[in-house]
Structure 1
Amino acid sequence: MNRIAVLSDIHGNLPALEACVDDARQRGCDQFINLGDILSGPLWPVETAAFLRPLDWPTIAGNHERQLLTQTRDQMGASDLYADAVIGEGDRAWLRTLPPTLAWRPDIYLCHGTLESDLDYMLHDVSEAGVIDTPPDAVAARVAERRERLVLCGHSHAPRQVKLSDGRTVANPGSVGLPAYDWDRPHYHVMETGSPDARYAVVDGDTLAVELVAVAYDHESAARKAEGEGRGDWALALRTGRAR
């Protein structure tokens, strides 16, 4: 049986990535997909690129790849600044090859945020009152132009799958590398899993059933690395799955 591991939002967290890959292989996964936001963060961007580049997985760019390649250092946030300072030209050349979306199979479509934007959430809505799960009918409207039976997205770091009334599924595997963060777009909000576990998903390649998976790993080593780089916010998130 063909089983596909879906990973997203690795953010340079190599121990979490290695744990997810090991777990996926133990579950019989023989294909891997990467939904972007791969290197940016205060952890191990160079080492993460060295791990991934030889594997040649189907991979799309997230907003952090776009920002690394298009923004000046004056425009970058702290996570992109760290990656920008250490990755080499070979890593940048690899990032330039990554498309923003990908019709990977006739029945599986990949995007980072939504079909149109790498900054918007597919399965969550943000207002001044907070974050809510997007209702299925609104999710269906967001993917109305696609006919694939499975649409895979990332970006929010929040694992969720939604079954649509026409039988299709839209799923977010969560984040491999960062279980919580806060952001001020479009309103200040926090995204939190409440656990330090790394997240990914397993897709049955025949039925397209999606299983959301949480994997324990040595998150303390990642938290200490973040602290050493002056990122106490990341250290808190990596230890607790909370952003505050």
Structure 2
Amino acid sequence: MRSLPSDKQVNEDVYFCHGTPNNDLVYLLEDVSRGYALLRSDSEIIDLLAGQKSKLICCGHTHIPRAVSLSSGQLIVNPGSVGLQAYTDEDPVVHSMENYNYHASYSIVEKIRSEWVVQNIKVPYDYQSAVTESKKRNRNDWVHFLSTGRRI
């Protein structure tokens, strides 16, 4: 199943995408073929960029906050997740993503003297409200993910 990208070229230097520039369902930074998230090699990430040359690329999809500098001079930033710090998915293979805590995460990225500065920030939030809603829907997996940031 292929998903059309929901990307956005903000300006010459900044590009946003959910997964990769060509597919919202493919993780840009992580390989999950072993059932867990493993950071891809520099060359794999560059290949998945499919010619996207922006200096700052902000992606998501994995819910794992990180900033990765590439040999191409590009910086890839994933801010993480505001409200689901772990999950298990079956596509492309059964795999789990984990942040190991329940805190919301986001990133602040600013350009200072021609360099990108990234702050990955984790903050507490009322995750118990999300846990309560998950219980109402009999989503015990989400109760665990939201409470612990860990896979089951």
Fold similarity call, TM over 0.5: yes
TM-score by length of 1: 0.57
The structure whose RCO (Cα within 8 Å, separation 6+) is larger is 1
Match of 1:131 in 2: 37
What amino acid does structure 1 have at the position aligned with 2:76?
A: V
1:134-178: CA deviation from partner (whole Å, max 9, x where unpaired)? 112221222251121101100111111110113210111111110
- Which structure 1 residue ranges, 4+ long, deviate > 4 Å from structure 2? none
* Preserved contact between residue 109 and residue 151 of structure 1 (Cα < 8 Å): yes
Query: In structure 2, what is the Cα distance between the partners aligned to 1:153 and 1:234?
Result: 23
Aligned-pair CA distance for 1:203 = 0.4
* Preserved contact between residue 103 and residue 110 of structure 1 (Cα < 8 Å): yes
Match of 2:27 in 1: 121
* Structure 1 residues without counterparts, runs of 5 or longer: 1-62, 67-98
Of residues 224, 228, 236, the one that matches 2:136 is 228
Aligned-pair CA distance for 1:233 = 1.2
Match of 1:179 in 2: 85
More helix by share: 1
Query: In structure 1, what is the Cα distance between the partners aligned to 2:50 and 2:99?
Result: 28
What amino acid does structure 1 have at the position aligned with 2:137?
A: E
1:1-244 correspondence runs (5 A): 100-128=6-34, 130-206=36-112, 207-244=115-152
* Structure 2 residues without counterparts, runs of 5 or longer: none
Query: In structure 2, what is the Cα distance between the partners aligned to 1:234 and 1:215?
Result: 19
Query: In structure 2, what is the Cα distance between the partners aligned to 1:144 and 1:100?
Result: 15
RMSD: 1.8
Paired residues in the alignment total 148
Query: In structure 1, what is the Cα distance between the partners aligned to 2:36 and 2:131?
Result: 27
Q: Matched residues, percent identical?
A: 37
TM-score by length of 2: 0.89
* Preserved contact between residue 110 and residue 153 of structure 1 (Cα < 8 Å): yes
1:103-137: CA deviation from partner (whole Å, max 9, x where unpaired)? 01211000000111111100000214543111122
1:66-104: CA deviation from partner (whole Å, max 9, x where unpaired)? 8xxxxxxxxxxxxxxxxxxxxxxxxxxxxxxxx711001
What amino acid does structure 2 have at the position aligned with 1:211?
A: Q
* Preserved contact between residue 199 and residue 215 of structure 1 (Cα < 8 Å): yes
More strand by share: 2
